[in-house]
Structure 1
Amino acid sequence: MIRRLLRDLLASPNLDARRPVVNERFESSVPGIYVIGDLAGAPVVKLAMAQGNDVAEAIAALPDARTPDPDAYDLVVVGAGAAGLNAALVAQDRGLRVLVLEKAKVASTIEDFPEGKWVYAEPDSKPPKGKLWLDGARKEDLLARWHQIIRDNNLPVRTEEGVTGVTRLSGGGFEVTTVKGVYRARRVILASGQRGNPRKLGIPGEDREQVYHRLYSPGHYAGEDILVVGGGNSAVEAALTLSERNRVTLSYRGSGFARVFKDNERKLREAQASGAIDVVLESNVKRFGESVYTLESGRGSAKKTEERPYRHAFVLIGAELPAEFLKSLGLRLENEWTGNPWLALLLTAFTLASLWMFGGKDPIGAVAALAGIAALVASGVRGSRWAWLGFSFLVCYTIYGAKMGENLEFFPYRGWGYRFFSFAGRPMSFWYTVAYTAVMTVFGVQAMKRWGFDRKDRFQIWRYVSLLSFQWIFFFLVPEFLFQYAVKYEWVGGLAKDPVFAGQAWRSYGIVYAWPLFFYTFFGSPHQVWVVWGVILSFGLIPLLVLFHGKRYCSWICGCGGLAETLGDRWRHYAPKGRRSIAWEGMNTVVLAAAAVITLMMLARDVVHLLRAPAEMGIVWYRLIVDVWLVGILPVTLYPFFGGKIWCRYWCPLAKMMQLFSAAFTRFKASRFAIYSNDKCIACGECSRNCQVGIDVMGFALKQQPLDNLSTSCIGCGICVTVCPMETLSFSAPPPLVQIRPARS
């Protein structure tokens, strides 16, 4: 059971298909091999073309872009789709010797579209890049233009020549092996996509001639018994089209069609009601015979097995990443837990033991600790993800364990850690704040460039300006400098002479941090100014902010959320996803309840003396568990593995309190916060992939349902709106439809 839970936890960031790990230049974990297009997550043709153009330009600009070997190519492109063709055309135009290898036909994904299908040129806001032509057109017209461009540019494209292997040569470059020959290349671009690898049921008879995994020409079928298997838009659209002239059964293993367009769902209900399509939910095809298939449907005691006739069957259950092929090339995939966990654990424990031996004095312990850290890093560089987890834990445990205070540090820092990190006349707590602000600034500027400037998105620019401003002003300058100046120069009037107020600089964090995030707002001998402000902030301003902006405090203001949105941004796609991960969000209800109970006990302990001991014990445990482990050590350790919002999503009591407020406002139709969808969703999944709190944003977009805090833990960061290539999502409600009646004559 524990092993299964661990496996489910480690796999929770995965969507339907993982991608190869690439850097910002689309170079894979194998230097010299680049990955673009569908494999790299390009959701639409125009963006795939842009990737091809950008990679080709970058490669052509390298000083060693051209090989001195006259028998080798400068660049071999695997895949003749939008990304691959555009990359090859641009690279050839820049003077590189290029070869394109394609296992099927040119633009085979588009070639496989149904006859007359329209190919869109979205997003409209971005002009096409490169030499391929792209405008809204029927597939036949688009393909004709592309073939003409290939001929006009004399681009060498070898179709029906699938690549079987790519091997690095000792002298540099690669040897590319295909079903027909062997080629040498300085660099390789993989643009083969994954739609050419249809997912299969893996049952007897699936290889029969009458069983297909694509629907090419629906008009060729008439008067037949046809089976369609699948629950996505491709399957539903195929069933609807085929039902016009045939008797169609649609089999789907799920209990409902959660991933289909709103209009497709409506049409399917109508077709089912009219008897045009027999929809069999919670069913599985067990085998295909010559003229009948075996269908198992129902659950438990209601399960039944029957044989049904068919002439043709279409298994349309998506495509699979060619994982085995990619791994054979040495490429790493996202969220692969590689390496030896026991070795990583041993090295981590060895390092901590060595630090205990060091104790601030023994140099042998210091040398041993450095050796342990070096071994972890070396193991990580060689590909061990477990080693990086150990290293990440060491860093975070050291920071938060030593920051507890002098003689309060965790093992092995007890008695020396706080002093060791205190220097230049400043305590470790000061340098922690300096480091926190510096890290947020460096990575915040990078994130601002990524989501704001590069995409020309003013919303994201101002969001990161807000996060960095709050961090610098309210979480660094005010508590560390301005509060002291305010007291020294009497900027706060008579309060400057009040020793209670003057000695509570640390409480200035509560100017922006609301209870229960700033847990000590109402106890610990606060000045009445802090108590009054705490009430106004927590139960006045926060609900007002939530009314209009939902939980945007987490993504625009909060320092905890700020670190997640800056340092944690590069790993946002690793956020746990799925129903189970959403169920885990109930943990923050427990933390909120604990904060409320302990606070009430602390306030009542002088009246009800029996509460004094449990209240003070509650403070000790809350500080240890929540303020150290749940807000610091664990979530920051897990940034590179589960994204940046572990604390905000699962444990933050203020986030939970805001969600309760927002859900109540939504329930009573008072909330002004939601994300809305139009009818342009193409089910690319980019919105769900990049959601730091693991929301199935695409599911809402497909159904055109508002996404709010009654149904999700959305923090209003807007990244889903930013990444959508079709401009489907918006914070503004779409205008209501108006029925125009013809004028009376």
Structure 2
Amino acid sequence: MENQFDLVIIGGGPIGLACGIEAKKAGLSYVILEKGALVNSIFNYPVNMTFFSTSERLEIGKVPFVSNNPKPTRSEAMEYYRRVTTTFNLNIKLYEKVQTVTKVDDEFSVHTSKNEYLTKNIILAIGFYDLPNKMDVPGEDLQKVSHYYDDPHKYAFQKVLVVGANNSSVDAALETFRKGSEVTMVIRKDEIGRRVKYWVKPDIENRIKEGSIKAFFNSSLAAIREKEVDIMTPEGAITIPNDYVLALTGYQPNFSFLKKIGLTLSDDEKLIPVHNETTMETAVPGIYLAGVVCGGMETHVWFIENSREHAYKIVDAIKEKMLNQSGAVLR
């Protein structure tokens, strides 16, 4: 069958590509399915984003990642992963969203927006960038509210409210401020996030200290209207004028999809998909996890640099399983 493979990889980000590389090296037939552009999450990062990691820690397939900067940029990363895809001539289908995964006898049927694929093994390398953590406040559905930040020029000379205190929020606050925005931050805790990039943290703290950026700590956004917002502060509720809200409150994996295909999640607030940390196989035999999805709500645990090894673990496990089933040696 034309669309029958040893392995279907769902997700065409860096870890999905790494899994494809290892599958190809092992002689497995495979296909990578990506609902958007190549490395879609990176494509949707802010245009001026700089990675925390150095370039060598983002490498896959032993292909060198040469950057012009100490820390690579979004555009450099997209070019690098495109070059890796070309180097290995990876079998990847872009703009093809997986809709359902069902078990048919001893195989999985993977239905997408364009095709159906049959396979005995699936890797979920789906990341977490698609579903923002909602604030559940009145007005969150207004057009001026965004859970994603792209280009600071859009917000030039506007009154911008940034919700959050981690890397994406801090980058948005600083970049829009430097484009002439009047920036206010609403921060749930009493300080800037401790995981903020070390070369950026002093910058935001100094801008807040000098008053260039207004910050409300131990506070929350209470309501959003077309021309103003309500903020609940330790001193009580206040209302300030506002043009745009950047609600950069983090993201989460697609738990409904994971549950729909039969995966079991931990019964605590972390919602970690149950899996074998040696093989990365889930409680559903034949379905494996790779990358940040392994952490459930703990999206800060897994990164490109520490989850590249998932590709090796999974492909080795699949090879061993196929060897046990057939007695044939895979090259």
Give 1:248 deviation, angstroms: 0.4
C-alpha distance in structure 1 between counterparts of 2:62 and 2:120, whole Å: 23
- Cα pair distance change 1:114/1:96, threshold 3 Å: same
C-alpha distance in structure 1 between counterparts of 2:104 and 2:73, whole Å: 43
Give 1:227 deviation, angstroms: 0.8
Give 1:220 deviation, angstroms: 3.7
Give 1:223 deviation, angstroms: 0.7
C-alpha distance in structure 2 between counterparts of 1:232 and 1:158, whole Å: 33
Name the counterpart of 2:101. Answer: 166
Name the counterpart of 2:168. Answer: 234
C-alpha distance in structure 1 between counterparts of 2:193 and 2:53, whole Å: 27
Name the counterpart of 1:254. Answer: 189
C-alpha distance in structure 2 between counterparts of 1:123 and 1:334, whole Å: 34
- Cα pair distance change 1:194/1:304, threshold 3 Å: same
1:329 aligns with 2:278: no
Other structure's SS at 2:6 match: strand
- Cα pair distance change 1:287/1:161, threshold 3 Å: farther
145, 153, 156: which one aligns with 2:91: 156
Contact 2:48 2:151 in 1 (8 A): no
Q: Deviations over 1:187-240 (max 9, x none)?
A: 111111113322121233323332222221223431111110012232123212
220, 224, 240: which one aligns with 1:284: 220
Contact 2:46 2:149 in 1 (8 A): yes
Name the counterpart of 1:147. Answer: 82
C-alpha distance in structure 2 between counterparts of 1:272 and 1:216, whole Å: 22
- Cα pair distance change 1:213/1:185, threshold 3 Å: same
Other structure's SS at 2:121 match: strand
Where do residues 90-489 of structure 1 align in structure 2 (5 Å cutoff)?
Answer: 90-119=22-51, 122=54, 128-130=59-61, 133-136=64-67, 137-151=72-86, 153-170=88-105, 172-244=106-178, 245-261=180-196, 264-298=200-234, 302-306=235-239, 308-334=240-266
Q: Which runs of 5+ in 1 are unaligned?
A: 1-68, 338-382, 384-449, 451-682, 687-722, 726-745
C-alpha distance in structure 1 between counterparts of 2:6 and 2:263, whole Å: 21
Other structure's SS at 2:120 match: strand
- Cα pair distance change 1:94/1:174, threshold 3 Å: same
Q: How many residues align?
A: 272
User: Which structure shows the higher strand fraction?
Assistant: 2
- Cα pair distance change 1:116/1:250, threshold 3 Å: closer
Where do residues 695-714 of structure 1 align in structure 2 (5 Å cutoff)?
Answer: none
C-alpha distance in structure 1 between counterparts of 2:51 and 2:260, whole Å: 34
C-alpha distance in structure 1 between counterparts of 2:40 and 2:3, whole Å: 29
Other structure's SS at 2:46 match: coil
- Cα pair distance change 1:189/1:174, threshold 3 Å: same
* TM-score, structure 2 normalization: 0.70
Q: Deviations over 1:386-423 (max 9, x none)?
A: xxxxxxxxxxxxxxxxxxxxxxxxxxxxxxxxxxxxxx
Q: Which has the higher contact order (CA 8 A, sep 6+)?
A: 2
Name the counterpart of 1:77. Answer: 9
Contact 1:121 1:135 in 2 (8 A): no
User: Which structure shows the higher helix fraction?
Assistant: 1
Give 1:77 deviation, angstroms: 0.9
C-alpha distance in structure 2 between counterparts of 1:238 and 1:292, whole Å: 19
Give 1:79 deviation, angstroms: 0.6
C-alpha distance in structure 2 between counterparts of 1:237 and 1:230, whole Å: 11
- Partner amino acid, structure 2, of 1:271: R
Other structure's SS at 1:174 match: strand
Give 1:277 deviation, angstroms: 0.9
- Cα pair distance change 1:193/1:277, threshold 3 Å: same
Other structure's SS at 1:236 match: helix
Q: Deviations over 1:290-311 (max 9, x none)?
A: 232232222xxx42242x3222
Other structure's SS at 2:188 match: coil
Give 1:253 deviation, angstroms: 2.1
Give 1:156 deviation, angstroms: 3.4
Judge which range, 92-101 or 183-192, deviates more.
Answer: 92-101
Identity %: 26
* TM-score, structure 1 normalization: 0.33
Give 1:264 deviation, angstroms: 4.2
C-alpha distance in structure 2 between counterparts of 1:321 and 1:198, whole Å: 9
Give 1:149 deviation, angstroms: 3.7
Other structure's SS at 1:143 match: helix
C-alpha distance in structure 1 between counterparts of 2:86 and 2:199, whole Å: 40
Name the counterpart of 1:488. Answer: none
Give 1:174 deviation, angstroms: 0.5
Other structure's SS at 2:231 match: strand
Give 1:144 deviation, angstroms: 2.0
1:86 aligns with 2:21: no
Contact 2:230 2:237 in 1 (8 A): no
Other structure's SS at 1:104 match: coil
Superposed CA RMSD in Å reads: 3.2
- Cα pair distance change 1:157/1:310, threshold 3 Å: farther
Contact 1:77 1:189 in 2 (8 A): yes
Name the counterpart of 2:313. Answer: none
